[in-house]
Amino acid sequence: MKVAVIGGGIIGLSSAYYLHEAGFEVTVIDKNDFSNNCSYGNAGYVCPSHFVPLATPGIVKQGLKWMWNSRSPFYVQPRLDMSLIKWGLKFMQIATPAHVENSAIPLRDIAILSKKMYEEWNAIPGFSFAYEQKGLLEIFQTDAGAEKCKHLVEKAHELGLTDTLLLNYDQLQAMEPQTKLNAKGAVLFNCDAHLYPNLLMNRLFNLLKDRGVHFVKDTEVVGFEKKGKEITGIKTNKEFYATDAVVMATGSWSRELAAQLDLDILLMPGRGYSITLENSPYKINYPAVLVEGRAALTPMDGNKIRFGGTMEITSTKTPPRMNRVEGLLQAVKGFYPEFDIPVPAIEKVWYGFRPCSADGLPYLGKTGKWNNLVVATGHSMVGLSLGAGTGKLVSELIQDKQPSMDIRPFNPDRFN
Ligand SMILES: Cc1cc2nc3c(=O)[nH]c(=O)nc-3n(C[C@H](O)[C@H](O)[C@H](O)COP(=O)(O)OP(=O)(O)OC[C@H]3O[C@@H](n4cnc5c(N)ncnc54)[C@H](O)[C@@H]3O)c2cc1C
């Protein structure tokens, strides 16, 4: 049986992995050449700690304040676009304390499943990707940040992530003896891991190729051949591909493609930027999220450090904004005062588009309209973390097996 996976990011490749393992003939189609997409330049966190979705009451308030500051970490580019308006209204409507509460268990469960899958992959000979289980720091500078983190620790304990600790300044500084920190304290999430995304993506691509998965590069899917409730073929800007089942893993471009199947997927691209020091003169032991700075940094693959962040709800066609990169580096300097990182030339800055659903939860599952389609997109800030687990769930759905976890909160039809 043939399965076409559209999109060669971490969601598409992970799906291909488990579909191939289940015995399907798998073809992955991408409009690019499988060497860059959002799954490459991200911060590499595999993070059960991220059980709070993007849509929270706090981010709506903060976003409105930040809208006029072009360096701010969260920015919605105002424009008259019906899809943005629909997405924004739903985002604001759903960002309630109850939504945050209801999202915690599904986000935790899919992250834990995914982490287990990454651990299995990392043990496959020749398929290591600098995976490290060290934990993750969330560093705060203000009383408000401390208060927020105290609640986060309580919630983590309630969710069974009991190895989560609140550190005071001295305890935090002792963990990073090689550099000075400007902070009040931190949360240490011992449950989290990190990896080098570029290595993961390259090695996963090569492994799948060696195992016999077909890859079709530089080919854009533009439509579908349909018969009743079945999709029978994929139309591209080049050839036509007959298929028995389809996985839509097209990241930030999923809304437009889903519309070809009469599906209304509320989704916006959320651009983020990263800079990687390949041979860093600065040394850190732990990945860290800077709470008030809304930035992330990760030591990876030996001597590299990657700095990433900012959320810019925009179109995939707008050029990068360097003032956002300046804002990111300024935030890092505010927490790590010894880090003097010059703003790099624009071609040295990586950026990618997070597929942001309207409620911060993935769209993962079958739809009412099509029997042989699985939608797997909208993973927002945590697509890398949830990637391997999503792939496993996709394969179970295509096989009509009982999924490894309750995926009802991820129903792609939930806003229709
Ligand atoms: C700065 C930054 C830091 C981040 N840090 C983390 C982190 O630490 N941990 C974490 O879990 N997540 C992180 N993320 C988020 C994560 O990177 C994304 O959620 C994830 O990469 C999304 O994967 P994807 O496979 O859905 O999309 P993508 O990786 O974007 O892949 C989608 C693919 O679909 C292809 N495609 C689209 N439309 C078509 C079409 N019509 N025809 C053919 N091909 C098509 C595209 O070319 C692309 O290759 C970060 C993101 C950013 C920007």
The 10s digit of each residue's pLDDT in 93-116 is 999 999 999 999 999 999 999 999
| Beta pairing, strands 267-277 & 245-248 | unpaired
- Residue 377 near residue 365 (C-beta atoms within 8 A): no
Q: Is the CB of 391 under 6 A from ligand 1?
A: no
Work out the percent of the chain whose per-residue pLDDT is above 70.
99
Q: Is the CB of 269 under 6 A from ligand 1?
A: no
Ligand 1 atom showing the smallest separation from residue 39 Cα: 21
- Indicate the residue type of 134: K
Q: Is the CB of 29 under 6 A from ligand 1?
A: yes
How far apart (Å, rounded) are the C-alpha atoms in residues 213 and 26? Answer: 5
Which pLDDT band holds residue 70 (cuts at 50, 70, 90)? Answer: low
Asked whether residue 62 carries a pLDDT value surpassing 80, the answer given is no
- Is pTM beyond 0.95? Reply is yes
Ligand 1 atom showing the smallest separation from residue 32 Cα: 47
Q: Is the CB of 272 under 6 A from ligand 1?
A: yes
How far apart (Å, rounded) are the C-alpha atoms in residues 365 and 361? Answer: 12
How far apart (Å, rounded) are the C-alpha atoms in residues 49 and 273? Answer: 22
Asked whether residue 269 carries a pLDDT value surpassing 90, the answer given is yes
Using the CB atoms, write b or e for 166-196: b if 16+ within 10 Å.
bbeeeebbebbeeeebebbbbbbbebbbbbb
Q: Is the CB of 181 under 6 A from ligand 1?
A: no
Q: Please state the φ and ψ torsions of residue 74, each to the nearest 5 degrees.
A: -125, 125
Asked whether residue 304 carries a pLDDT value surpassing 70, the answer given is yes
Q: Which of the residue ranges 65-69, 233-237, 376-380 would you say has the lowest mean pLDDT?
A: 65-69
Other Cβ atoms within 10 Å of 143 Cβ, number = 9
What does DSSP assign to residue 303? Answer: T
H helices of 56-127, in order, are 57-66, 82-94, 97-122
* Residue range 157-211, pLDDT digits in tens: 999 999 999 999 999 999 999 999 999 999 999 999 999 999 999 999 999 999 9
For ligand 1, mutation pick of 6, 115, 384 (most atoms within 8 Å of CB)? 384
Q: Is the CB of 308 under 6 A from ligand 1?
A: yes
3-state secondary structure of 358: coil
Q: What is the mean pLDDT of residues 283-309?
A: 96
3-state secondary structure of 81: coil
- Indicate the residue type of 251: G
CA nearest neighbour of 2 among 249, 248, 241: 241
**Maximum Cα interatomic distance, the chain, rounded to a whole number of Å:** 65
Hey, what are 205's tokens?
């691509």
Q: Is the CB of 352 under 6 A from ligand 1?
A: yes
Fold held by 2-410:
FAD/NAD(P)-binding domain (3.50.50)
Asked whether residue 221 carries a pLDDT value surpassing 90, the answer given is yes
Smallest CA separation from ligand 1 atom 21, residue = 39
Q: Domain limits of the chain?
A: 2-410
Hey, what are 332's tokens?
């890092």
3-state secondary structure of 106: helix
- Between the alpha carbon of residue 137 and those of residues 49, 132, 195, the distances in Å are 10, 14, 15
* Residue range 339-374, pLDDT digits in tens: 999 999 999 999 999 999 999 999 999 999 999 999
Smallest CA separation from ligand 1 atom 46, residue = 7
